[in-house]
Structure 1
Amino acid sequence: MQTTNYPAEPYKIKVVEPIAMTTRQQRAQYLRDAGYNTFLINSEQCYIDLLTDSGTTAMSDKQWAGMMLGDEAYAGSKNFLHLQATVREYYGFKHIIPTHQGRGAENLLSRLCIKPGDVVPGNMYFTTTRAHQELNGAKFVDIIIDEAHDSQADVPFKGNVDLEKLQKLIDEVGPERIPYVCVAVTVNLAGGQPVSMENLRAVHALCAPLGIKVMFDATRCVENAYFIKTREPSCADKSIREILKEMMSYADGCTMSGKKDCLVNIGGFLCMNDDKLYQRASELVVLFEGMPSYGGLAGRDMEAMARGIKESVDFHYIEHRIAQCRYLADRLEAAGVPIVRPVGGHAVFLDARAFLDHIPQDEFPAQTLAAQLYLESGVRSMERGIVSAGRNKETGDHHRPKLELVRLTIPRRVYTYAHLDVVAQSCINLYARRREIGGMKMVYEPAFLRFFTARFEPLPVKTPAAPAERVTELETA
């Protein structure tokens, strides 16, 4: 009997949006049209859309009211001044450069700090972050703890930096070849796993005397703060706001996709404390984004983001946010569906390697599982495995991550527990007939970030239960 308490939604619904109800036959056609890539399915063809939590937030009434106060001046917008003051108050950084979204900030940081031959250590790669680093001549080196690559290792802070790995890398290449250490809080591709305050403090203490900057990917920093409060005893009595401010004190700056923990549909920023770096960033942003006081954003979007930052540190909001992930995970685990443990802050990650253990990694089990889940129920999810990992640019071979995952990403303040019941039952149904599922082959591969636009075709099912080859249901539905 389920005894876990899940907090009710700390909001009431003021506006509703109808969602699509499709047939299995329709979804099979939509999949074929999309090349079996869930990124290429239209949103109106999805019943429950768990592709991403990026920009899919439901904004509050106060945020929508703020949108009406947009100052669309080309320079010196009052909304920028509000955003600047809010970032300084809640994150503590001296300087902020707005960008159209997080990868705009990644682009600026990489161009400003990286020179060919540099090495950028990080606690597991993220797709766009590593792409920008590599395009500017750096090599990414993973320094996350080993447990992060084990889907079943039940460790409270699986996002932690392995300090011995970091020190070894510094000794090997020298601090002058490390422009910054990139620390994600939380770590998306490990399953939304947090980094402890103790670890953040230790990373800063190691790097500061050597002149190595620490730059956070702060996209889901509020979720990280919640995990610190609930899992790190020394911070149990602190508020989310206090924890967030202390976290940021151990960094020299950050990139931020405001489309996640800032609770908006578009926007981001780059922060730093270094005056000279800020001056260079102010010059470079004009080439790629816009003036330093808007960076590709309308004034109304900056106003919504400033208000979202304030709302994000409310304990009741973030408690419910994390509880929705835990609720879905608990339902799946109770039915024996393999997931990443412990559950993270923005999504539940299906362990596709264990779910479809009869499909080799080169036949894209996570991509296959995401396509099959959509066919089953209209639930759209995202592959986070060998397709997302891309290719080694030196050998041309696939990167083969140990984690082969499907991400069920929960948008903020959008779906109810009842929607998550549908998602859970769909996964459970699919798991019961997993041996009927065959892998896929890639028939189109773009040069960069292939998971966004690659296309696939089904392969025949080859299982002990099917001695004669037959095509997967995806092809015949």
Structure 2
Amino acid sequence: MKTRTIAEPYKIKMVESLKTTTREQRLAAIKEAGYNTFLLKSDDVYIDLLTDSGTTAMSDVQWSKMMIGDESYAGARSFYTLEAAMHEIYGFKHLIPTHQGRAAEHLTSLIRIQPGQYVPMNMYFTTTRAHVERVGGIFFDCIIDEAKDTKVIHPFKGNVDMAKLQKLVDEVGPEQIAYLNIAPCVNMAGGQPVSMANMREVRAFADKYGIAVIYDATRAVENAYFIQQREAGYQDKTIKEIFRELMSLADGCTVSSKKDNLVNIGGFLATNDDGFARRAKELVVVFEGMPTYGGLAGRDLEALAQGMREMVEDAYIASRVRQVEYLGQKLIDAGVPIMLPIGGHAVFLDATNFLPHIPQDNFPAQTLAAALYVDSGVRAMERGMVSAGRDPKTGENNRPKLELVRLTIPRRVYTNLHMDVVAESCIELYENRHKIKGLTMTYEPDSLRFFQARFEELEPAMA
């Protein structure tokens, strides 16, 4: 029997007009932005796939909840509403709200890391690594090797390589491991998930050596969906059940609520560690606000609490990931090189194989993101050498094996017709890839350079 089409589990109640521009206008805009899509004005963008962070369309229920937000400075009712939702969905003991995810990373790094300690991660994330290194920590990549090959098909490319982890502990000792920072799914590897079996191995390893496991749980609901679809024994479990089991294998987590949690601003720390929670509440007052609001308004806390419950609805998350698959499959069918398998929150163009004539020193992923915008008004972002930054000891460019362009799908925002537009632009660029030239960097910030760096073309080819 032929598989029936499954539509989005919602209907559109409000629309926002999109601005269309000419190629000449887009060329002028990208030059003004220094060929950095982060520096484009949103009014000059047609389809915005820069990020899924804070770009969600909230539900009618979320908007209604905002009207009952308690804006009391201390002890607001809305905090306890959020705390109850976190207990139900995540299952951790303590909640500390923050204004967004990187604030939670900042507090975690300050409290947990001593200079010279290692923080193993299943591949780095930009802001996480920056916070680790700013307090003297050392990033250690323990992801499986398959994650760094775009052509390898593996159901759980985000998995931790336990042999790499064991080797590190044998060399430096468990006391030199600040904590294990595990991301389900792995953004920089193309939105690739971890398996429940692998996380059980990580938990057993951590218990053996007395090391804490801290998730970056920003996109963990998408990971729960992949476990449901790919891992034996989970096909008949709900996303909510799988998610709660996954969270039970960690001691705590940091979350950017602007992704899974379906809100436009916010984040939090959650932990089972009483001592860590106490110190985090002390520091959150210094950097964010009272522990019961953490830089957020009461209305934000209410919307976040509702978003936590909506994110684990099976129909919603299936629709969300399937839209990403829809775009990815169109590109695969046309022979466009992407990270395989298709990830949870984005399709990642493989810039190395898309533009093999451009060396890494000329930033193929940055170049491709700029070319895509000029071609169609679609804004994507670079995830390659620019994002990887420099080695803090040598000052040399970090050279990741992956040079990717992330086509990040906002939640509940675009239709599949928008995905068709994106696919057509990528396909046409690939057919004419030999015309695309590289870039050189003209301005480089000291940290997180991908946000503000500026470039210029080696040759004026985009015109």
Answer whether TM exceeds 0.5 for this pair: yes
> Map of 1:62-461 to 2, 5 A cutoff?
62-460=61-459
| Whole-Å separation in 2 of the counterparts to 1:7 and 1:397 | 49
Cα offsets for 1:114-172 (capped at 9, x unmatched): 01010000000000000000001100000000000001110000000001111111111
Cα offsets for 1:84-108 (capped at 9, x unmatched): 1111111110001000000000000
| Whole-Å separation in 2 of the counterparts to 1:274 and 1:64 | 33
* Partner-residue secondary structure (3-state), 1:216: strand
> Which residue is 1:472 aligned to?
461
* Partner-residue secondary structure (3-state), 2:233: helix
TM score, norm. by length of structure 1: 0.96
* Partner-residue secondary structure (3-state), 1:25: helix
Shift >2 Å, 4+ stretches:
3-7
| Whole-Å separation in 2 of the counterparts to 1:325 and 1:292 | 36
| Whole-Å separation in 1 of the counterparts to 2:188 and 2:204 | 26
Q: Per-residue deviation at 1:6? A: 4.9
- Indicate conservation of the 8 Å contact 1:101/1:258, yes or no: yes
Letter in 2 for 1:399: N
Quote the sequence identity (%).
Answer: 64
Q: Per-residue deviation at 1:251? A: 0.2
| Whole-Å separation in 1 of the counterparts to 2:343 and 2:376 | 24
| Whole-Å separation in 1 of the counterparts to 2:252 and 2:178 | 13
| Whole-Å separation in 2 of the counterparts to 1:253 and 1:68 | 31
Letter in 2 for 1:319: A
| Whole-Å separation in 2 of the counterparts to 1:140 and 1:59 | 35
Letter in 2 for 1:228: I
| Whole-Å separation in 1 of the counterparts to 2:215 and 2:126 | 15
Cα offsets for 1:27-68 (capped at 9, x unmatched): 001001100000000111100000000000000000000010
- Indicate conservation of the 8 Å contact 1:54/1:265, yes or no: yes
Letter in 2 for 1:183: I
* Partner-residue secondary structure (3-state), 1:234: coil
> Which residue is 1:464 aligned to?
none
* Partner-residue secondary structure (3-state), 1:74: coil
| Whole-Å separation in 2 of the counterparts to 1:66 and 1:289 | 23
| Whole-Å separation in 1 of the counterparts to 2:20 and 2:299 | 34
Long gaps (5+) in structure 1: 461-470
Q: Per-residue deviation at 1:237? A: 1.1
Q: Per-residue deviation at 1:72? A: 0.4
* Partner-residue secondary structure (3-state), 2:92: coil
- Indicate conservation of the 8 Å contact 1:105/1:270, yes or no: yes
Letter in 2 for 1:29: A
Q: Per-residue deviation at 1:209? A: 2.6
> Which residue is 1:463 aligned to?
none
Letter in 2 for 1:102: G
Letter in 1 for 2:386: V
Cα offsets for 1:211-244 (capped at 9, x unmatched): 1000000000100000000000111111100000
Letter in 1 for 2:33: A
Q: Per-residue deviation at 1:179? A: 1.4
Q: Per-residue deviation at 1:7? A: 2.2
Q: Per-residue deviation at 1:4? A: 6.9
CA RMSD of aligned residues (A): 0.8
Letter in 2 for 1:310: R
| Whole-Å separation in 2 of the counterparts to 1:7 and 1:154 | 25
* Partner-residue secondary structure (3-state), 1:140: strand
Long gaps (5+) in structure 2: none
| Whole-Å separation in 1 of the counterparts to 2:433 and 2:413 | 30
| Whole-Å separation in 2 of the counterparts to 1:79 and 1:227 | 32
> Which residue is 2:28 aligned to?
29
Number of residue pairs matched by the alignment: 462
> Which residue is 2:8 aligned to?
9
Letter in 2 for 1:51: L
| Whole-Å separation in 2 of the counterparts to 1:275 and 1:300 | 27
Q: Per-residue deviation at 1:255? A: 0.2
Letter in 2 for 1:291: M
